[in-house]
């Protein structure tokens, strides 16, 4: 998606929700799509802070919520008490392998696993809504 399209989509969403277009919100959006990584709120805050717009941590958190709620970003829980955020734009579903040593994160998808998950949910009469699937270990370098 072009960044013009994205920005206009974001503005439409904000309008729809009765929210205003502010420099801070644009900055967080730009930051989340610029980097394909899995970053903490603090990283995004620092990146915006250093490069341009005046922003506060509170506003970063508030804006990240808006992005997550409206399909622009995903929030990840890696079990260490700090949320990670990644762009959802042009980024299909995937899960993660995380290195316990250096923190490196690789994305993976496996259709077979996705299918089995559905079967398991059916077996227990659950209606599946989301899932978390994370593999932890040592990457090649850290072994």
Query: Which residues of this chain interact with its own copies, rule CB under 8 A?
Result: 77, 79, 81, 97, 99-100, 106, 108, 110, 112-113, 116-117, 120-121, 124-140, 143
The answer to the question of residue 16 lying near DNA (CB under 7 A) is no
23 contact choice in its own copies, DNA, none (CB below 5 to 8 Å, kind-dependent): DNA
Closest listed residue to residue 83, CA positions, set 14, 32, 23: 32
| Cβ at position 38, least distance to its own copies in Å | 15
**Does residue 10 interact with DNA by CB under 7 A?**
no
CA 29 and chain centroid, separation: 11
Rounded Cα–Cα distance for residues 107 and 141 (Å): 17
Residue 139 binds to DNA (criterion: CB under 7 A): no
* Strand bridging mode 83-87 / 73-77: antiparallel
Residue 134 binding DNA, by CB under 7 A: no
Q: Dihedral sign, CA of 75, 121, 92, 5?
A: negative
Please report where in the chains the tokens 């970063």 appear, as a residue: 60
Q: Which of 8, 12, 65, 103 binds DNA (CB under 7 A)?
A: 65
The Cα–Cα gap between 22 and 61 comes to 15
**Between 5 and 15, whose beta carbon lies closer to DNA?**
15
Nearer to DNA by C-beta: 1 or 58?
58
From the list 143, 142, 132, the residue with the least C-alpha distance to 78 is: 132
Chain residues binding DNA by CB under 7 A are: 14, 17-25, 40-42, 54-59, 61-63, 65, 81-83
């Amino acid at each position: 998606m072009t960044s013009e399209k994205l920005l206009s989509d974001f503005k439409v969403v904000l309008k729809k929700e009765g929210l205003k277009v502010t420099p801070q919100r644009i900055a967080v959006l730009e930051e989340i799509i610029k980097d394909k990584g899995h970053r903490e709120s603090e990283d995004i805050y620092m990146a915006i802070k250093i490069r341009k717009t005046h922003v506060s941590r509170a506003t970063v958190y508030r804006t990240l919520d808006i992005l997550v709620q409206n399909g622009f970003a995903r929030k990840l829980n890696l079990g260490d008490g700090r949320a990670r955020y990644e762009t959802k734009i042009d980024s299909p579903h995937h899960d993660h392998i995380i290195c316990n040593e250096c923190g490196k994160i690789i994305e993976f998808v496996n259709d077979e696993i996705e299918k089995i998950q559905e079967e398991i949910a059916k077996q227990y009469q659950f209606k599946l809504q989301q899932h978390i699937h994370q593999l932890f270990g040592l990457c090649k370098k850290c072994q």
